[in-house]
């Protein structure tokens, strides 16, 4: 069994900062990519940022220059430092990983349970 456990969400004023963390645990052989998606009420889930095992990163245009994604391969964890937060960043943030189980042949998508980020204006 594989799990992604998130932490660090909460309520912050506009202009403030939050740091999200996610750790993968279980029967994991490798993790190709880890990242964060978000879903605001009435909207589709969207990619926020992702990072590969080789530390290549990808950011949504709306967060470039404000958010920074980082990864600790030894701990199977990923972090999202969010600065200069805006009201429009309010959403449930989901950790995501593309990983392969020990003994598995193919990678698959794994999701965390989600953590609420609320930015008050």
pLDDT per position as a tens digit, 1-22: 899 999 999 999 999 999 999 9
CA distance 94 to 116: 9
User: Could you report the per-residue pLDDT of 59-105, keeping only the tens digit for each?
Assistant: 999 999 999 999 999 999 999 999 999 999 999 999 999 999 988 88
Helix (H), strand (E), coil (C) string for 58-109? EECHHHCCCEEEEEEHHHCEEEEEECCCCHHHCEEEEEEEEEEECCCCCCEE
The whole-number pLDDT of residue 69 equals 98
| Span 20-49, pLDDT tens digits | 999 999 999 999 999 999 999 999 999 999
| Measured distance CA(112)–CA(118) in Å, rounded | 18
Pairwise CA distance, residues 23 & 112, whole Å: 9
């Amino acid at each position: 069994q594989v799990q992604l456990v998130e932490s660090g969400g909460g309520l912050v004023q506009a202009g403030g900062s939050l740091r999200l963390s996610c750790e993968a645990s279980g029967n994991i052989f490798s993790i190709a990519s880890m990242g964060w998606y978000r879903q605001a009420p009435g909207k589709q889930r969207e990619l926020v940022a992702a990072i590969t095992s080789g530390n290549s990163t990808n950011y949504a245009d709306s967060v470039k220059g404000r958010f920074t994604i980082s990864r600790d391969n030894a701990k199977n964890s990923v972090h999202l430092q969010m600065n200069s937060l805006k009201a429009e960043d309010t959403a449930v943030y989901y950790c995501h990983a593309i990983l392969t189980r020990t003994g598995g042949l193919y990678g698959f998508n794994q999701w965390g349970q989600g953590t609420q980020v609320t930015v008050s204006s």
